[in-house]
Structure 1
Amino acid sequence: MDSKQPDYSETLNRVSTNSKPSELRITDIKICKVDLPPWGSHLVKFETNQGISGFGEMRDGASATYLKMLKSRLVGENPCDADRLFRKIKQFGGPSRQSAGVCAAELALWDLAGKAYGVPVYQLIGGRFRDEVRLYGDIHIEDGRFTGRLMDPKDVGAVLKGYMDQGFTVLKILSVELLTAKEGNCGGPLDWVERLRAAEERGRKVALAGDRAATAKANAELYDFNKIAHPFTNMHITEQGLDELEAYVEQVRSVIGYKVPLAIDHFGHFPLPDMVKIARRMERFNLAWLEDLLPWYLTDQYKVLKQSTTAPIATGEDMYLAESFEPLLAAGALDLVHPDILTSGGILETKRLGDLAAKYGASMAVHMCESPIASTAAAHMATATENFFALEYDAFDSPWWEDLIIGPARPLVQNGFIRVSDAPGLGIEALNEDLIREHGPIKEKNIWVSTDDWNGESSLDRIWS
C-alpha cells in the first residue's frame, strides 16, 4: 500500500476560501444610474468584507434617497440574513416608488446570500416550479413615449406579430391616448379636456421629431395632469370613444389572431361607471387581462367592476407588501395580481404574494420596466412561484439592454422566455460599466456615486411603544 499522502492541491485550487457565510458583512453601498426609458433606473451594488458584490435595482423614476437612508441600517450586517434584514427595513417602504430602496436592498441581499453559499437565489427560496420563465411582449417605448399610442392599429398588430415570430406567447398594448386624442371621445370640464388634448398633441409632435428633452417636458405635463385620481376627474367616455377603442382592438386582433393572450393597459383616469363600460366592450376580444382600471386601494370599486364584467381584471404594480393585496383578493376582485418586484417588496415577498393569490384562485403576472438586474431577480422569483404566468418585457428598442449585465447566461432572453441559470446568486458576475457610462448621466471612469454622507444617518426606528 502506498503510504504517500494524496495530493489535493488541484482540488483545493478550485475551492473558494474567500466566502465564509457566517463572517460575511456589508461594508459599503453604491449607486449608479442608467438611462432606460422612460425614466431611468438606479443600479445598486452592495460591497462586502470578503470581496463579493451583490446587485440590486431601484424602481424606474425613484429617488436614490430611498436607498441612501437605509445604508446605516445595513452596513455591518450579514446579508445572508436576508429575511431578517428585510423585516428590519420594510417599515421604510410604501406604495409605488416609496419602496424602491427597500426592494433594491432586498435583491442585493439575496444575490449576496446565493453567492456566499454558491447556490442560485431560486433554490434559496424553495426551488423550481418551471425551467423557463414566460415573457409577455409589451409595445415599444421609444424616446420616452409609448409609441404604441401613436401608431395605426394595423401597425401595432404588425409589431406584435413580430414579437410572436420571436417566440413571445403573451402580448400587451396600451390604449390611453385613443380615448382622449380625438375630439368627442370623452367629455369633462372643458378646460381639463382642452389642456389634456393640447399636452398630448405637443407630446406627439416632439416624440415624432425625436426631441428627447421636449418629450420629457411634455410627458411631465401629462403626468402632472394625471395625478388626479380616477373618481375625481369627472371625465367620462362617450359612445364615440368606446366605438373607437373597440375598433382599434378589433383591428389589432385581426392581425395577431385570437390564439395569443392579449392584455391592455393604460385606460386613462375615468371613474368606475366608465371603466365598467370599457370592460364590457373589451369582453369579446379574449383578453389576458385589463390592467389598472382603477386606483388599487379602491377595493369596493374593484369588486363592483369585477362583478360587472367577464373580462379578467389585474392590478398591483404600485402595491407594497403581499398583505396589501389581500383585501382585493378576499373580495374576489382580481383574476391576476400584477406586482412589480421593485415595489412589492422584492424577491421573497413577491413569492409570498404568489402563494397568497393562489389561495384565492388568482394567478400572477409581473410588471417590469427596468434593467436586466430586476428582470433576472423577477425570473428567479417566478421560477420558484407556483401560480406565475408571465413577466413583462419591453426592451425591444434597447438592443444593448441585455449587455448591461455580465454573467454566464447568454442570451438572457430566448424565444420569448428567460432560462434561469444555476450560477450563484442572481447569476450576475458584474455590470458592464462601459455600457452604463455610455447610456447614463455619469461619463467619468468611476460610475458609482458615493453614499458616504449617509453612513451615520439614524432615528428611533421602533414603530411601537
Structure 2
Amino acid sequence: MKIRSLTTAVVEANFDWTIVRIETEDGHVGWGECFFAPGLTRIVEQMADLVVGDDARQIGAVVARLRAAASGAGSVGGIIHNALSGIDGALWDLNARAIGVPLWRMLGGRVQDSVRVYADCHGGAGLMGLGPMLDIRTPRWAGADEVATGEVGRSLFDPGAETEPVDLALLARRASEAVAKGFDALKFDLDVPGLVPVRAGSRTMPVGGASLARDMVAAIREGAGPDTELAFDLHWRYDFGSAMRIARALADLPVLWLEDPLPPENVSGLIALAGASGVPLGGGENLVGYRSFEPLLEAGSLSVLTPDLGKVGGVAEARRIAEAAQSRGLGIAPHNIAGPIGTAFAAQVSATWPNLVALEYHAQDVPFFEELVAAPLIVNGSIEMTEEPGIGVVPDLDVVRRWAKPGETVFGEEPR
C-alpha cells in the first residue's frame, strides 16, 4: 500500500480543525486530525513530499522518517509534532480500514465498550473562537450573543483579552444544560475576569480571586447537581502562591481534578501544591512524548494525566504514557479540542485504556460538529465502540467545504 497523496483541509470552528487525508495507490484512505498551530498546513504539505511512495503499513517507520527529517526544525518538541500526530492517526485509520476492523481492535482490543466524555463549558459562555495564535475571533457561523466576549484580534493570554463578566447564574445554567445532554462530568475554566492576572507578565491572582473561584464552583455544583463530577482548568496562569490560594479554596469540595495550575515544568511546585492542598491535580496537554511526561510520572505530582492525541507524537507515545500512568495508579483524561475526526480517533485509542477517566469534548456549541460526519458521535455523554472500520466515521466533504477556512486548500482543491 504505497502512499499516493497526503493532503489537508481546515475547518474554521471554535478552533481550526486541521483534517489530514492519506490515500494509497490502491485506493485506501485514512483520516486524521492535527492540533491547531500557526503554519501547520504548510508543515504537512512539505512532509507530504517525503511520504509519497512510502509503504502506509509501516506506520512507525514513516513517522520516524518524518521526525528525523524535521529534526533541524526542533522535532524533539513543538508544532512539528502536531503535524506528525495527525499523520500518524491517519495511517492507523487507513490500516484499520484496509483490513476492515475498528482501530481499537488493531490496538489489541477495547477495555471500554463506550468512552465516557466530559463537556468543557469554558467560563460559562460555552464558546470562544480562537485562531492559530490564540487570537480571538468571532466565528462567522455564530450569533454575537452565543460567544464569550473578548477583544477581536487580541491573543487570549494578553491582559484584558477576555471581557466576559462572571455570571454565577449563567454558570449554573450552563452546567444544568450540559447535564441535560447526558454528560456526567464537566469542566469549567476558573481563569476568567476577576481571577486572571491583570498586569503583563504577571502570574499573580487579583485580590479576592480565591473567594470568587469558590463562588463559581458552588454555582456550577448547584446547576450540575450532586451526581456530576467537576474538573476545573487554570491554563498555567498562576504563580505558586496564587495556585495554592485557589487550591485551598476548593480543598473541601469534591473536585475531580484541578488542571494546569502551574506550568508543567515546575515539577517541584506541583508536588508541593498537591501535598499541601489535597486537591487532585491534572495536566500534560502541552507535553510531547513519553519522555516529557516521565518527570511528572516519577515525581507523582499529578493524579490525572491529560495528553492531547493531536500533538503528543503519535499512538505509540500515547500508549506508553497511559500504561505508565496505569502502573502508578493514575488516571488519564485526554485533552481534546478537536472536531469529530480527532475526537473519534481519540475515543478509539482511549477505549483500550483501563485507567481512562473521560475524554474531553470542547465543541458542544459548534452547530455543525455532528453534521461534519453525518451521524451522531457523542450520545448521552459517551462514544460507543462499534465494529465500524477505522475510527468509525468519515468527513462529509460538502460540509467540510462549506465551513473551510478561507485561503486553505480542501484536500488539494484550490482555496476559495
Q: Is the 8 A contact 1:302 1:333 kept in 2?
A: yes
More displaced 10-residue stretch of structure 1: 270-279 or 239-248:
239-248
Partner of 1:277: 245
- Note if 1:415 corresponds to 2:345: no
Equivalent residue for 1:307, pick from 252, 275, 285 = 275
CA distance in 1 between counterparts of 2:390 and 2:368 reads 23
Q: Deviation at 1:94? A: 4.7
Partner of 2:179: 164
CA distance in 1 between counterparts of 2:340 and 2:189 reads 23
More displaced 10-residue stretch of structure 1: 431-440 or 316-325:
431-440
- Note if 1:111 corresponds to 2:79: no
Q: Is the 8 A contact 1:110 1:425 kept in 2?
A: yes
Partner of 1:40: 16
CA distance in 2 between counterparts of 1:288 and 1:98 reads 32
Equivalent residue for 2:402, pick from 432, 435, 438 = 438
Name the Cα RMSD after superposition.
2.3
CA distance 1:96–1:260, change in 2 (3 Å): farther
Partner of 2:148: 147
Cα displacement string for residues 114-168 of structure 1 (whole angstroms, at most 9, x for unaligned residues): 1122111111111010110000011111444673954512211211111112210
CA distance in 1 between counterparts of 2:370 and 2:234 reads 26
Q: Is the 8 A contact 2:166 2:193 kept in 1?
A: no
Partner of 1:100: 82
**Secondary structure class of the residue paired with 2:300:** coil
**Secondary structure class of the residue paired with 1:101:** helix
- Structure 2 counterpart of 1:414, one-letter code: V
Partner of 1:26: 3
Aligned pairs, number: 375
Q: Is the 8 A contact 1:67 1:104 kept in 2?
A: no
CA distance in 1 between counterparts of 2:6 and 2:279 reads 45
Partner of 1:242: 210
Q: Whose Rg is larger?
A: 1
Q: Is the 8 A contact 2:83 2:311 kept in 1?
A: no
CA distance in 2 between counterparts of 1:119 and 1:251 reads 45
CA distance in 2 between counterparts of 1:69 and 1:236 reads 42
Equivalent residue for 2:262, pick from 272, 275, 294 = 294
- Seq. identity, %: 26
More displaced 10-residue stretch of structure 1: 65-74 or 348-357:
65-74
CA distance 1:316–1:235, change in 2 (3 Å): closer
CA distance 1:94–1:399, change in 2 (3 Å): farther
CA distance in 2 between counterparts of 1:79 and 1:267 reads 37
Using the size of structure 1 for normalisation, the TM-score is 0.75
Q: Deviation at 1:90? A: 3.8
- Structure 2 counterpart of 1:117, one-letter code: I
CA distance 1:80–1:68, change in 2 (3 Å): same
- Note if 1:138 corresponds to 2:120: yes
CA distance in 2 between counterparts of 1:272 and 1:286 reads 22
Correspondence list, 1:288-437, <5 A: 288-405=256-373, 410-428=375-393, 430-437=394-401
- Structure 2 counterpart of 1:424, one-letter code: P
- Structure 2 counterpart of 1:147, one-letter code: A
**Secondary structure class of the residue paired with 2:90:** helix
CA distance in 2 between counterparts of 1:157 and 1:47 reads 46
More displaced 10-residue stretch of structure 1: 83-92 or 115-124:
83-92
CA distance 1:384–1:235, change in 2 (3 Å): closer
- Greater helix share, structure number: 1
Cα displacement string for residues 307-343 of structure 1 (whole angstroms, at most 9, x for unaligned residues): 2221110111111112211110110101010011011
**Secondary structure class of the residue paired with 2:8:** strand
- Note if 1:59 corresponds to 2:59: no
Q: Where does structure 1 lack aligned partners over 5 or more consecutive residues?
A: 1-23, 187-191, 194-224, 226-232, 452-465
CA distance 1:98–1:293, change in 2 (3 Å): farther
